[in-house]
Amino acid sequence: MIELIKKEIKKVVIGHDELVDAILIAMLSSGHILIEGIPGVAKTTTVNAISKIFGFDFKRIQFTPDLLPLDIIGNEIYNPQKGSFSIKHGAIFTNLLLADEINRAAPKVQSALLEAMAEKQVTIGEQSFILQEPFTVLATANPNEQEGTYQLPEALLDRFMLKVNVGYNSYSEELDIIERVANKNFGKIEQIIDLDSFKKMQQDIEQIHFQQELKEYLLNLIYATREPKKYNLEDIQEYINTGVGPRGSIDLYKGAKAYAYLNKRDFVTPSDIAKSAYLVMAHRLKLNYKAAAENIDSYTIIKRVLEGIEAP
């Protein structure tokens, strides 16, 4: 089934295999994903294609500086004839929510997603509404170095199961894109998965075997970002302000199982954990100014942790 999904995506998306895998991992794990990259690298196109393949209800919000929280979650509307209020639901009432260029809007607006992402519910006025399942936020973001962007709050970042960086296509891939555009040769996306099939895939992932030794290895990776000295990683201690929190442990566990499923295995390997670690941990690590001054990023720290902790 995974191969069929990927084949369908390739009708309109060339390359970006890591992005496709990351979105599938997040959706199948009931998580959310943050996709960072410069404009024009098929972030939105990929999300659109996946929504059509699964046939889920899909809505898109363009985050802009003048966007309001009520534009996302909805509002109470007063009816003067009846003398009462009614609820108008916002775009967040959907299966797949594309938060496009999420860091173009102010933190007050970004925070409107917090309750929905954590608790799968929305509060409007005095009423709370349960969101329909599945519910996944797929947010795209521009690099923070670009003008007109806001830093995402830590509380919001932590609610994203995965973060994936999207770069340019290769030379040959971009040549293929040009030729397809010239010949109008992009295919039409068809729905090939229904809700029952999607739930069956999720159930299959839950049954994937995760050895106790690998669970301990996973937790050691997390704890090494909090207490590097205990794991003989003193060389990275000076760069870390805050390590990965408990949500990171849970999401790394889920991500490793989903990664094994994508690779057609019914058991998790150390490689599944290692590959998921970059997607799950990087945006949760908080580094200090010394790291920035020495051009040390989160991926460098994770690589050092993986090198320093022996896999079972």
Domain limits of the chain?
Answer: 2-183, 207-308
Query: How far is residue 116 CA from its own chain's centroid?
Result: 15
* 3-state DSSP percent of the chain in helix, strand and coil, to 5: 50, 15, 35
Tokens of 48: 């659109």
Q: Taking the domain 207-308, which CATH number applies?
A: 1.10.8.80
Q: Which residues pair with 96 in a beta bridge?
A: 58, 136
Residue 170 is predicted with a pLDDT of 83
Contact of 294 with 225, CB cutoff 8 Å = no
Residue 92 is predicted with a pLDDT of 92
Residue 203 is predicted with a pLDDT of 94
Residues of the chain with pLDDT under 70: 144-147
Tokens of 160: 């994203």
Contact of 30 with 177, CB cutoff 8 Å = no
Residue 2 is predicted with a pLDDT of 85
Query: What CA–CA distance (Å, rounded) separates 30 from 257?
Result: 13
The matching CATH number, chosen from 3.40.50.300, 3.40.190.10, 3.40.50.150, 3.40.1280.10, for 2-183 is 3.40.50.300
Counting other chains too, the contacts that 1-8 makes at CB distance below 8 Å and 24 or more residues apart are: 1/193, 1/197, 1/201, 2/261, 2/262, 2/264, 4/192, 5/50, 5/53, 5/192, 5/193, 8/49, 8/53, 8/189, 8/190, 8/192
User: pLDDT by residue (tens digit) across 91-123?
Assistant: 899 999 999 999 888 888 888 898 899 889 998
Nearest by Cα to 228 from 284, 301, 278:
301
The pTM score is 0.89
DSSP alpha helix (H) spans, 74-168: 107-110, 114-119, 154-158
